[in-house]
């Protein structure tokens, strides 16, 4: 049954692509703005066979994951410490709430000023951006642990570390994962910004170059590749989540 | 106070069955929830359904409501098989909080039923006012369910059901979530309503005393699979009274029999 | 010596109401620290850094001469227009997908393929199609806001209280009535939340697009200052952007509480 739905969905997507091809071929949409899927495919193949695309894809993907992983680690660790202490929350959380709506792209210039047009800059930008949603969600997750469980833990005489590990962490896990998901979305957004503003070779920068030379097929190819990175990583997180959060 | 409802109903209780379960079975995934249910309910009869948890009494109610279909057998209502909800069958759910629209007032909730029946809009205010009064909610028309107590919410649900002018009222453990005093008050109100309107009532409960107090008949189901284990006719005087009826020798006898039956082995 | 002054209880005016000072501790310390470090290490004519007091001066200047206001209106205009476009589309799709299981499953692959595309990746495309300006920004905001609204309104429709759907079935309500009287009213609070979250995203995306490519609005104002080697003004814009984002969110949260406070407490 599941297979049938998968095929139906695939079929629908194929129809969409066919419509796209039709729109381009008949000239309903300008070839510049909406290149035919066939041309986009050619561009992708050309890029891969020349070895150019894989290198850039690898670079961009590596940046996304490295930055995101770093951010998640720091975000969860710090978030756990702040989240379990109501005192820390009162002092720190309001400032974080204030910083939450700030677009990290606004800070890229500053990071360029500090770190130059370097790989570290890109990493720091991505990590910085992905850090906040992780941190905030983790704080929320730990703060929302059923208070009764804290009472149970103190009656049982659990150490603070045990309490965090056995009670708070499993309870906060869904929120932590949700925060990491948002962090991934932010990472993808920022890798493009960092590559463009920092003139670093990668898929994001490639898209910009394609736009400047009106090579719309390459442009679309780049967008598709970025979308695929996003899709694959979302699936990966889903898989990890289903393993970790089985009790929900 | 004019109770316009009364005039729509025939006062005598006919002996011809209005509801007829014929070899009704329901199986899900190989497991029989209900098996070979044969049951007749006469017009205007008050039938209480009891049985251990999981015996399928709620399922039976839902079949009658047209919310589920039997795997085999048929349920006839006024001679025709029940395949989907009927206009003249109303259902009172146990979880009144979830069965009422939280964003509408009491009046609005009753109006929903009128709207569903395509009653012309200009008739709504009168009908709503009448139904609120019948259930003692005449001053609460503008309150939202969230502002009402459990008992009031359940009254509201009953009032909404009455808007359908049902000839059959299905009640699924309607008073289970209420406190003892409210429960008793509502028991008597439902009895009075049934008497006045001549509705048949299909009353599912786990409270054996409530079943005997209310019913003309108590049908005990056994579990795994659900079957009609035994029927207990209730030969108690009408109208029922919370104190005297419950001390009546027949009541005590029935109570004894029913308790032993359920406990003894009908449960298995 | 005259008689002692009479003892009067202190009168609390609204502006004297106690505000918890603790949340302000960290920011004040941080600013103070930054000021100290800047005074020590940052030359007053630095190209990329500025001390808090310099930032404050430029902040007030930009506020008073209307630059902040005009740029904010540009950004907000684009963000809200994009939100309206993308939000309505997302809502329509979300409701449709929530109502129809079939539609939902068939389109799932397409939706999941389009959703992860980062909005920044679309900046070059939008530039290609629309050139610089308002349309280009609205297009990207619209595309980005479709998805959160779609996902959340689909969930809102799906999570209609199942008991209410049964009540509608028992009352034999038509599909249209079920939709307009039960599904949509029940989903409205959550749909509002969806728009609130999407609005926050819209603002962030608008500013991001301005920073990366578009010569209008707050993002551009900031980049312009930074490019003309006026770091204090650039930072002032940064602070202002944070304030606008925060105020925008708070307004929406207050609005939500105002509109739905009692309902979201009553329902579920």
Sort out which chain B residues have CB atoms less than 8 A from C263's CB and list them: 102-103
pLDDT for the residue C3? 57
pLDDT range class, residue B2, cuts 50, 70, 90: very low
State yes or no: pLDDT of C97 exceeds 50. yes
C-beta pairs of C97-104 under 8 Å, 24+ apart in sequence = C97/C150, C97/C154, C98/C153, C98/C154, C98/C155, C98/C156, C98/C157, C98/C158, C98/C187, C99/C157, C99/C179, C99/C183, C104/C154
Cβ–Cβ below 8 Å for B85 and C169: yes
- φ/ψ region of B94 (left if φ > 0, alpha if ψ in -120 to 50, else beta) reads alpha
**Closest C-chain CA to A1:** C105
B217 and B45 Cβ atoms separated by less than 8 Å: yes
The minimal CB distance from C105 to the residues A5, A216, A227 is found for A5
**Closest A-chain CA to C111:** A13
Q: Which residues contact A225 (CB under 8 A, 6 or more apart)?
A: A44, A53, A57, A203
C-alpha distance from C63 to closest chain A C-alpha (Å) = 19
Rounded CA separation B108/B145 (Å): 10
Pairing between β-strand B200-204 and β-strand B168-172 as defined by DSSP bridges? parallel
Across chain C, mean pLDDT equals 87
The minimal CB distance from B98 to the residues C163, C177, C262 is found for C163
List the one residue out of A13, B209, B193 whose CA is nearest residue B201. B193
What are the CA-CA distances from residue A64 to residues A47, A178, A238, C147 (Å)?
21, 17, 17, 21
Paired with B89 in beta bridges are B168
Cβ–Cβ below 8 Å for A188 and C118: yes
Sort out which chain C residues have CB atoms less than 8 A from B146's CB and list them: 262, 265-267
Sort out which chain C residues have CB atoms less than 8 A from B145's CB and list them: 266
State yes or no: pLDDT of A216 exceeds 80. yes
Quote the percentage of chain C above a pLDDT of 70.
Answer: 91
Rounded CA separation C169/B113 (Å): 11
List the one residue out of C235, C252, C230 whose CA is nearest residue C76. C252
Sort out which chain C residues have CB atoms less than 8 A from A60's CB and list them: none
Paired with B172 in beta bridges are B204
The minimal CB distance from A12 to the residues C27, C106, C116 is found for C106
pLDDT for the residue A101? 84
pLDDT range class, residue C42, cuts 50, 70, 90: confident
Residue C13 burial class via C-beta count within 10 angstroms: exposed 0-12, middle 13-18, buried 19 and up? exposed
Highest mean pLDDT among A83-97, B15-29, C20-34, C188-202: C188-202
pLDDT for the residue A169? 84
C217 and C206 Cβ atoms separated by less than 8 Å: yes
Rounded CA separation C30/C40 (Å): 15
Paired with B48 in beta bridges are B203, B218
Average of pLDDT values for B136-140? 93
Full DSSP string of chain C? -PPPPPP-PPP--GGGS----HHHHHHHHHHHHHHHHHHHH--TT-SS---HHHHHHHHHHHHHTTHHHHHHHHHHHHHHHHHHHHHHHHHHHHHHHHH-HHHHHHHHHHHHHHTTS-GGGGHHHHHHHH-SSHHHHHHHHHHHHHHHHHHHHHHHHHTS-HHHHHHHHHTT--HHHHIIIIIHHHHHHHHHHHHHHHHHHHHHHHHHHHHHT-SSHHHHHHHHHHHTT-HHHHHHHHHHHHHHHHHHHHHHHHHHHHHHHHHHHH--
What's the angle, vertex CA B20, arms to CA B16 and CA B21, rounded to 5? 160
Pairing between β-strand B80-81 and β-strand B72-77 as defined by DSSP bridges? antiparallel
Cβ–Cβ below 8 Å for C170 and B99: no
pLDDT for the residue A98? 83
Q: Is residue B74 part of a domain?
A: yes
Rounded CA separation B32/C4 (Å): 91
Pairing between β-strand B217-222 and β-strand B72-77 as defined by DSSP bridges? unpaired
Paired with B90 in beta bridges are B169
C-beta pairs of A225-228 under 8 Å, 24+ apart in sequence = A225/A44, A225/A53, A225/A57, A226/A60, A226/A188, A226/A192, A226/C117, A226/C118, A226/C121, A227/C113, A227/C114, A227/C116, A227/C117, A227/C121
pLDDT for the residue A129? 93
User: For the segment B7-40, what is each residue's pLDDT rounded down to a tens digit?
Assistant: 344 333 344 668 999 899 998 888 888 988 999 9
Residue window 72-131, chain C: list those with CB within 8 Å of chain B: none
Between C266 and B95, name the one with better pLDDT: B95
Rounded CA separation A22/A37 (Å): 9
ipTM at complex level: 0.85
Cβ–Cβ below 8 Å for A189 and C242: no
B111 and B124 Cβ atoms separated by less than 8 Å: yes
State yes or no: pLDDT of B181 exceeds 70. yes
C124 and A208 Cβ atoms separated by less than 8 Å: yes
Cβ–Cβ below 8 Å for C128 and A33: yes
User: For the segment A41-99, what is each residue's pLDDT rounded down to a tens digit?
Assistant: 988 888 888 888 888 999 999 999 999 999 999 999 999 888 888 888 888 888 888 88
- CATH number of the domain residue B211 falls in: 3.40.50.300
**Closest B-chain CA to C162:** B98
Q: Is residue B157 part of a domain?
A: no
What are the CA-CA distances from residue C191 to residues A41, B207, C116, C157, C166 (Å)?
38, 42, 21, 9, 22
Q: Which two tokens stand for residue A27?
A: 């000239």
Cβ–Cβ below 8 Å for C122 and A108: no
Residue C57 burial class via C-beta count within 10 angstroms: exposed 0-12, middle 13-18, buried 19 and up? middle
User: For the segment A136-193, what is each residue's pLDDT rounded down to a tens digit?
Assistant: 999 988 888 877 777 777 777 777 777 777 778 888 888 999 899 999 999 999 999 9
Q: Is residue B18 part of a domain?
A: yes
C-alpha distance from C179 to closest chain A C-alpha (Å) = 26
Average of pLDDT values for B88-93? 92
Alpha helices in A50-118 (DSSP H): 52-84, 86-99, 108-115
Q: Which two tokens stand for residue B169?
A: 């009222």
Q: Is residue B142 part of a domain?
A: no
pLDDT for the residue B122? 94
pLDDT for the residue B224? 82
pLDDT for the residue C14? 55
Estimate the crossing angle of helix A169-198 against helix A119-143, to 10 degrees.
Answer: 160
Sort out which chain B residues have CB atoms less than 8 A from C191's CB and list them: none
Cβ–Cβ below 8 Å for C22 and A9: no
Cβ–Cβ below 8 Å for C166 and B93: yes
Q: How many CB atoms lie within 10 A of CB B186?
A: 19
Cβ–Cβ below 8 Å for C170 and B66: yes
What are the CA-CA distances from residue B104 to residues B90, B99, B142, C182 (Å)?
20, 12, 9, 10
Sort out which chain A residues have CB atoms less than 8 A from C120's CB and list them: 105, 189-190, 192-193, 196, 204
Burial C81-112 (b: 16+ CB within 10 A, else e): bbbbbbbebbbebbbbbbbeeeebbbbbbbbb
Rounded CA separation B9/A239 (Å): 61
List the one residue out of B134, B94, B82 whose CA is nearest residue B110. B134
Sort out which chain A residues have CB atoms less than 8 A from C211's CB and list them: 103, 105-106, 108, 193, 197
Mutation to test the B interface, candidates C169, C170, C174, most B Cβ within 10 Å: C170
Q: Any chain B CB within 8 A of the CB of C172?
A: yes
State yes or no: pLDDT of C2 exceeds 70. no
Sort out which chain A residues have CB atoms less than 8 A from C29's CB and list them: none
**Closest C-chain CA to B118:** C173
**Running DSSP on this structure, what letter comes out for residue A35?**
-
Could you give the number of structural domains in chain B? 1
The minimal CB distance from B67 to the residues C166, C182, C185 is found for C166
Q: Is residue B148 part of a domain?
A: no
Rounded CA separation C217/C74 (Å): 5
Q: How many CB atoms lie within 10 A of CB B55?
A: 26
User: For the segment A180-203, what is each residue's pLDDT rounded down to a tens digit?
Assistant: 999 999 999 999 999 998 888 889
Cβ–Cβ below 8 Å for B116 and C173: yes
pLDDT for the residue C5? 57
pLDDT for the residue C9? 58
Omega before residue B239 within 30° of 0, cis: yes
User: For the segment C122-174, what is each residue's pLDDT rounded down to a tens digit?
Assistant: 999 999 889 899 999 999 999 999 999 999 999 999 999 999 999 999 999 99
Average of pLDDT values for C52-70? 90
State yes or no: pLDDT of A3 exceeds 80. yes
Q: Phi then psi for B42, rounded to 5 degrees?
A: -85, 160
Cβ–Cβ below 8 Å for C118 and A103: no
pLDDT for the residue B7? 35
Q: Under DSSP, is residue A121 helix (H, G, I), strand (E, B) or coil?
A: helix
The minimal CB distance from C212 to the residues A16, A196, A219 is found for A196
The parent domain of residue B216 ranges over 14-88+169-268
Cβ–Cβ below 8 Å for C238 and A107: yes
The minimal CB distance from C116 to the residues A6, A222, A234 is found for A234
Average of pLDDT values for B43-61? 91
In this predicted structure, which of B168-182, C36-50, C228-242 has the lowest mean pLDDT?
C36-50
Rounded CA separation A16/A27 (Å): 17
Pairing between β-strand B46-50 and β-strand B217-222 as defined by DSSP bridges? parallel
A and B in touch (3+ CB pairs within 8 angstroms): no
Residue whose pair of structure tokens reads 């570390």 in the numeric block: A161
List the one residue out of B87, B93, B91, B89 whose CA is nearest residue B118. B87
Q: Under DSSP, is residue A77 helix (H, G, I), strand (E, B) or coil?
A: helix
Q: Any chain B CB within 8 A of the CB of C177?
A: yes
**Closest A-chain CA to C30:** A95
B89 and B18 Cβ atoms separated by less than 8 Å: no
C-alpha distance from B158 to closest chain C C-alpha (Å) = 12
pLDDT for the residue C40? 83
Q: Is residue B5 part of a domain?
A: no
Cβ–Cβ below 8 Å for C266 and B117: no
pLDDT for the residue C245? 92
The minimal CB distance from A226 to the residues C118, C129, C208 is found for C118
Q: Is residue B21 part of a domain?
A: yes
pLDDT for the residue C48? 75
pLDDT range class, residue C98, cuts 50, 70, 90: very high
Quote the percentage of chain C above a pLDDT of 90.
Answer: 60
Cβ–Cβ below 8 Å for B115 and C186: no
Cβ–Cβ below 8 Å for C182 and B101: yes
pLDDT for the residue A246? 62
C176 and C118 Cβ atoms separated by less than 8 Å: no
Average of pLDDT values for B74-83? 90
State yes or no: pLDDT of C16 exceeds 80. no
Sort out which chain A residues have CB atoms less than 8 A from C242's CB and list them: 98-99, 101-102
Quote the percentage of chain A above a pLDDT of 90.
Answer: 30
**Closest C-chain CA to B66:** C170
- All structural domains of chain C: 52-260 (1.10.3720.10)
């Amino acid at each position: 049954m599941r297979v049938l739905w998968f095929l139906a969905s695939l079929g629908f997507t194929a129809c969409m692509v066919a419509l796209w091809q039709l729109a381009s071929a008949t000239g309903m949409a300008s070839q510049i703005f909406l290149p035919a899927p066939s041309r986009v495919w050619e561009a992708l193949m050309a890029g891969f066979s020349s070895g150019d695309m894989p290198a850039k894809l690898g670079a961009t993907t590596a940046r996304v994951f490295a930055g995101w992983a770093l951010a998640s680690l720091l975000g969860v660790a710090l978030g756990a410490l702040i989240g379990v202490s109501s005192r820390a929350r009162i002092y720190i959380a309001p400032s974080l709430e204030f910083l939450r709506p700030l677009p990290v792209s606004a800070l890229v210039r500053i990071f360029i000023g500090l770190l130059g047009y370097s790989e570290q800059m890109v990493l720091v930008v991505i990590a910085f951006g992905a850090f906040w949603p992780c941190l905030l969600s983790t704080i929320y997750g730990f703060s929302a642990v059923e208070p009764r469980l804290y009472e149970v833990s103190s009656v049982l005489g659990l150490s603070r570390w045990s309490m965090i590990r056995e009670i708070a962490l499993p309870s906060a896990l869904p929120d932590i994962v949700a925060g990491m998901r948002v962090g991934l979305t932010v990472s993808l957004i920022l890798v493009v910004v960092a590559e463009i503003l920092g003139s670093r070779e990668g898929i994001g920068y490639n898209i910009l170059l394609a736009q400047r030379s009106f090579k719309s097929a390459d442009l679309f190819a780049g967008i598709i590749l970025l979308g695929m990175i996003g899709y694959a990583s979302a699936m990966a997180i889903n898989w990890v989540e289903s393993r970790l959060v089985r009790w929900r | 106070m004019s109770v316009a409802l009364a005039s729509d109903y025939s006062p005598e209780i006919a002996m011809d069955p209005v509801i007829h379960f014929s070899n009704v079975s329901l199986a899900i995934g190989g497991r029989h929830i209900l098996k070979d249910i044969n049951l007749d309910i006469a017009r205007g009869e008050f039938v209480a359904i009891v049985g251990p948890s999981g015996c399928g009494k709620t399922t039976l109610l839902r079949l009658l409501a047209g919310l589920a279909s039997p795997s085999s057998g048929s349920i006839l209502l006024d001679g025709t098989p029940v395949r989907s909800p009927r206009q003249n069958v109303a259902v009172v759910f146990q979880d009144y909080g979830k069965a009422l629209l939280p964003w509408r007032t009491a009046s609005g909730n009753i109006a929903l039923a009128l709207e569903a029946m395509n009653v012309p809009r200009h008739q709504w205010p009168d009908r709503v006012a009448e139904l609120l009064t019948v259930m003692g909610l005449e001053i609460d028309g503008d309150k939202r369910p969230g502002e009402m107590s459990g008992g009031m919410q359940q009254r509201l649900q009953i009032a909404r059901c009455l808007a359908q002018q049902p000839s059959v009222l299905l009640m699924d453990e309607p008073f289970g979530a209420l406190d003892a005093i409210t429960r008793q008050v509502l028991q008597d109100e439902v009895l009075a309503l049934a008497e006045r309107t001549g509705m048949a009532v299909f009353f599912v409960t786990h409270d054996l005393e409530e079943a005997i107090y209310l019913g003309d008949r108590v049908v005990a189901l056994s579990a795994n699979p659900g079957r009609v284990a035994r029927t207990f006719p209730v030969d108690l005087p009408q109208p029922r009274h919370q104190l005297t009826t419950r001390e009546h020798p027949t009541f005590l006898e029935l109570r004894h029999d029913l308790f032993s039956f359920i406990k003894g082995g009908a449960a298995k | 010596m005259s008689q002692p002054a009479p003892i009067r209880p202190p009168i609390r005016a609204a502006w004297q109401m106690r505000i918890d000072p603790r949340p302000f501790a960290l920011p004040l310390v941080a600013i103070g620290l930054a000021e100290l470090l800047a005074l020590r290490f940052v030359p007053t004519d630095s190209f990329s850094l500025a001390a808090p007091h310099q930032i404050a001066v430029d902040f007030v200047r930009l506020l008073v001469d209307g630059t902040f206001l005009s740029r904010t209106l540009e950004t907000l205009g684009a963000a809200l227009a994009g939100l309206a476009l993308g939000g309505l589309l997302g809502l329509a799709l979300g409701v449709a997908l929530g109502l129809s299981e079939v539609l939902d499953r068939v389109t799932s692959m397409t939706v999941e393929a389009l959703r992860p595309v980062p909005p920044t990746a679309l900046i070059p495309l939008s530039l290609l199609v629309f050139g610089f300006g308002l349309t280009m920004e609205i297009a990207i905001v619209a595309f980005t806001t479709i998805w959160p609204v779609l996902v959340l309104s689909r969930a809102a429709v799906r999570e209609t209280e199942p008991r209410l759907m049964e009540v509608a079935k028992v009352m034999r309500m038509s599909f249209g009535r079920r939709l307009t009287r039960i599904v949509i009213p029940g989903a409205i609070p959550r749909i509002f939340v969806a728009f609130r979250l999407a609005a926050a995203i819209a603002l962030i995306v608008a500013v991001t697009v301005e920073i990366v490519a578009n010569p209008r609005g707050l993002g551009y104002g900031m980049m312009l200052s930074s490019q003309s080697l006026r770091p204090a003004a650039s930072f002032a814009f940064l602070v202002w952007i944070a304030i606008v984002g925060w105020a925008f969110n708070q307004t929406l949260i207050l609005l939500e509480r105002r509109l739905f406070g009692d309902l979201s407490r009553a329902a579920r």
